Amino acid sequence: MIATDAVMLSYDEPLAGELHVRLERVLRRPTKRLHGVRGMRRAYRLTAELVDYELYFLADGDFAISEDFDPTAVAPLAPDVSMRVWPALNPLNGLVYGYGGLKLMRRSDLYQLGNAVDVLAALPGRVEFSKDVAGTTRCNQSPYHAWKAAFRECAMLSQGSEYGMSKEGTRNRLAAWKSCGQGDFAEFAVAGAHEGMAFATGRGDHPDDLDKINDPGWLLARFTATHRTTGVTT
């Protein structure tokens, strides 16, 4: 097993505590937790300050790691790679890709993080995508969380992938998000997908507004105003 640390980055996910315990058990090591930090760029940078090793696993607060994931089989990152991503199954639309997946990070590269709407796309090195599925993204833990997942992802995808995904691949993912009809609170995800695309393509003279999707306060206020509910609890 390579020398690594592990961090869960959570904000308001109802199942984060339970999933943190699961992560520690599967990874077979203590897993630090950074919770409730506002501002995604700041939160990601702060994870690098928590760890004791150059390489560390990073999981979102809604990531349910597979019991079959074997941390002893994980190879170190190549010198030019800043991040490896293991895909996750999405329960809303059946997609399996990097969204919500497990990451292996290089601490020193987090201190050189640039600017991108999809924050980790601004790492200085190459991103490597594993073919092995590491778990499930439990992004639909409440009406709000299902809506937020779809709103943010479709807003970003409608601008084109920052990870080099083909236009056809982007279109296929958008179509899946817009038609997702499975899983808890799927109707809120469908609404979020359409609203996220409309927001991203209707910004006119305010292109910098897209970065608002990284502000949890703004997202919750928009959801509440549009859907007349906080929708945070299941």
pLDDT tens-digit profile of 94-140?
999 999 999 999 999 999 998 888 999 999 999 999 999 999 999 99
Closest C-alpha among 92, 99, 63, 95 to residue 183: 92
For residue 131, count CB atoms less than 10 angstroms from its CB and return exposed for 0-12, middle for 13-18, buried for 19 or more: exposed
Phi/psi of residue 150, nearest 5 degrees: -70, -40
Strands 126-129 and 135-137 come out as unpaired
Question: Can you tell me the distance from the alpha carbon of 11 to that of 112, in angstroms, rounded to the nearest whole number?
Answer: 23
Looking at residue 81, what is its pLDDT? 97
3-state secondary structure of 33: strand
- For 169-219, the pLDDT digits (tens) are 899 999 999 998 789 999 999 999 999 999 998 775 566 788 899 999 999
Q: What is the DSSP string of 127-149?
A: EEE-SS--EEE---SSHHHHHHH
Whether the Cβ atoms of residue 124 and residue 114 lie closer than 8 Å to each other: yes
Categorise residue 103: left if φ over 0, alpha if ψ from -120 to 50, beta otherwise: beta
- In this predicted model, what pLDDT tens digit does every residue of 12-61 receive, in sequence order? 999 999 999 999 999 999 999 999 999 899 999 999 999 999 999 999 99
